[in-house]
Amino acid sequence: MADAAQLVADANHQLEVVTEQVNEARVQLERQQASAASAGQTAADAQTRLDSFDGQIRQLARSAYTSDGLSRLDVLLTSGSAEEFVHQLGTLDAIAGHTNEVVAGVAAAADDAAKAKAAADEAAAQAQKSYDDIAAQQKDLEAKIADYQRQYDALTAPQQQQVLAAHGGDTQPVPSGVIAPSAAAQQAVDTALAQVGDPYVWGAGGPDAFDCSGLTQYAYSAAGVSLPHSSSSQAQMGMAVSRSELQPGDLVFFYSPVSHVGMYIGNGQMVHASTSGQPVKVASLDSMGSYNSARRIAG
């Protein structure tokens, strides 16, 4: 029976790994969509620039340097007076002086527009592929969650506690008077601690239910700091800090590759959305057993 509990505990961990992979895929999709939007705006800007070379100037530029264009002899033969001849000749010289710049500008704008449009199309295609991949992963994840729940429900109460302890860590009282090194970190810590007791839901980012990276994202959002909803991406944010240098508000990561995140609150403790069946809680860092790294987001 102990083997059954261990198998379910392993399934629990693997489910969180998959959940965080889905979260990371969503983060990448959002970035690609932003890239597509930016490239599309660049294409629109380039087209506006191209359109700014109005028809009259472009026609004059072409007229000055094509075989069908005006020559000084044409100007002389078509001028009705000496004054008109001087005026037209001056116009022709002015056109000649700026034609290279104008034509180069037209060409550059056209080239920019074409490249930007191609980039926008490529980014959009990548975003669509990511979306399709996410949809497939999400469907698979929902099936795995249902299967896991059936396995968990089949365990005895002691076995269920064994599963929760294996992945969720211990449960400790909520400390009072946690002091963070900065206003932003303090707000994040206070917000995270205020969620203690809220349920764990895979993929949730608040305000009433959370997964691990959803909780830390939500807490720092309250402090005006934007974090991606992914433990893997959060592990690349801010500044790396050693375990001996941890301060309240630092994010602590577990497993390799990273698939779980909590927020350090001092005294070897963290607050985290631990695992299915356990609410947001305070636990010791050592109770997780798979410490990976830490990042300072604010402080």
DSSP string of 79-111, one letter each residue: -SSHHHHHHHHHHHHHHHHHHHHHHHHHHHHHH
> Please, what CATH class does the domain formed by 2-153 belong to?
mainly alpha
DSSP state of 284: E
**pLDDT 10s digits, 109-128:** 778 878 888 888 888 888 78
**Beta carbons within 8 Å of 197's beta carbon, 6+ residues apart:** 279, 280, 281
Query: Does the domain formed by 169-296 have CATH 3.40.50.2300?
Result: no
> What is the location of CATH 3.90.1720.10 in the chain?
169-296
Poorest-pLDDT segment among 152-166, 174-188, 198-212: 152-166
* Band of residue 264 on the pLDDT scale cut at 50, 70, 90: very high
Verify whether residue 260 is a known catalytic residue: yes
Verify whether residue 167 is a known catalytic residue: no
Closest to 278 in 3D by CA, of 168, 146, 154, 145: 168
Annotated catalytic residue within 98, 167, 229, 260 = 260
**Beta carbons within 8 Å of 293's beta carbon, 6+ residues apart:** 235, 240, 252, 253, 258
Question: Two tokens at 13?
Answer: 């961990």
pLDDT beyond 70 at 80: no
pTM of the predicted protein model: 0.71
> What is the location of CATH 1.10.287 in the chain?
2-153
Question: Two tokens at 188?
Answer: 């994040």
* Band of residue 58 on the pLDDT scale cut at 50, 70, 90: low
CB 294 within 8 A of CB 231: no
Question: Two tokens at 24?
Answer: 């990371």
Annotated catalytic residue within 13, 167, 229, 272 = 272
Mean pLDDT of 35-62: 73
> What are 240-246's contacts with CB under 8 Å, separation 24+?
240/293, 240/294, 240/295, 240/296, 241/294, 241/295, 241/296, 242/294, 243/285, 243/291, 243/294, 246/294
Annotated catalytic residue within 98, 167, 212, 229 = 212
Verify whether residue 212 is a known catalytic residue: yes
